[in-house]
Structure 1
Amino acid sequence: MIRTLVVASLLLAGCSPAATPAPANSPTAPSDGYATSACARLVGSMARKEPSPVDDMGTATRAVSATDPGIQEAGKQLAVAAKEAGDLWVQDDPAVDKGPAYRRLADAQQGLLAACTKVYGEPPWAFVKQKPTPTPSR
Structure 2
Amino acid sequence: MIRTLVVASLLLAGCSPADTPDPAPRSTAPSDRSAASACSRVALSIEKNNPPVEDVSTAMLAVESTDPGVREAGKKLGPAAKEAGDLWVADDPAVDKGPANQRVADARQGLLTACTDLFGAYPWPFVRGVSPTPR
Q: Given the two structures, how large is their TM-score scaled by the length of structure 2? A: 0.73
Aligned counterpart, 2:111 = 112
Displacement over 3 Å in runs of 4+: none
Aligned pairs (5 A) from 1:27-46: 28-46=28-46
SS in 1 for 2:59: helix
Higher alpha-carbon Rg: 2
Q: Deviations over 1:15-41 (max 9, x none)?
A: xxxxxxxxxxx8823101000000001
Q: Which runs of 5+ in 1 are unaligned?
A: 1-25, 133-138
Q: Residue 100 of structure 1 aligns to which amino acid in structure 2?
A: P
- The CA distance in 2 between the partners of 1:27 and 1:68, in whole Å, is 20
Structure 1's 90 and 130: CA in aligned 2 closer, same or farther, altered over 3 A?
A: closer
Q: Give the drift of 1:117.
A: 0.3
Q: Residue 35 of structure 1 aligns to which amino acid in structure 2?
A: A
- The CA distance in 2 between the partners of 1:61 and 1:127, in whole Å, is 19
Structure 1's 47 and 27: CA in aligned 2 closer, same or farther, altered over 3 A?
A: farther
Q: Residue 65 of structure 1 aligns to which amino acid in structure 2?
A: E
Q: Which runs of 5+ in 2 are unaligned?
A: 1-25
- The CA distance in 2 between the partners of 1:32 and 1:89, in whole Å, is 31
**2:48 paired with 1:57:** no
Q: Given the two structures, how large is their TM-score scaled by the length of structure 1? A: 0.72
- The CA distance in 2 between the partners of 1:90 and 1:47, in whole Å, is 21
SS in 1 for 2:30: coil
